[in-house]
Amino acid sequence: QVQLVESGGGLVQAGSSLTLSCSTSARTFSSYALGWFRRPPGKEREFVAAISWSGDTTKYADSVKGRFTIYRDNAKNTGSLQMNSLQPDDTAVYYCALMMVSGDFAPQYGYQYWGQGTQVTVSS
């Protein structure tokens, strides 16, 4: 069973930066696309960003484009999400997930493995 663990969440002020990390037990991590999703309070979980297995292709939600950057390190079986210029609307539980089969990055149903999430709270 593949496990993913997110870390790096916390409480920050608007305008701050935060980096989330995702570590995985997947031996073939380099075979998976990596995605980040978030669930704002009282809302559905939504797509944030994703990166292909090779790192060559990335995709971002319009709401974070230009502020967030997704990375991966296949040698260390880790991924990260650099978040800059955080706003209160970015407050959410953030999840990382792995996609085994190449496809559209945005739909949640494309991802087979999920972490438990890490809370990010941005105060105004």
Share of the chain above pLDDT 90, in %: 90
**Tokens (6 digits) for 99:** 């996609």
End-to-end CA distance of the chain, in Å? 40
DSSP assignments along 24-84, one per residue = E--TTGGGSEEEEEEE-TTS--EEEEEE-TTSS-EEE-TTTTTTEEEEEETTTTEEEEEE-
Please provide the average confidence, as pLDDT, over all residues in the chain.
Answer: 95
Tens of pLDDT along 88-114? 999 999 999 999 877 889 899 999 999
Tens of pLDDT along 35-65? 999 999 999 999 999 999 999 999 999 999 9
Quick one: pLDDT at residue 1?
84
- In sequence order, the 6+-apart residues with CB closer than 8 A to the CB of 72 are 34, 51, 55, 78, 79, 80
Quick one: pLDDT at residue 114?
97
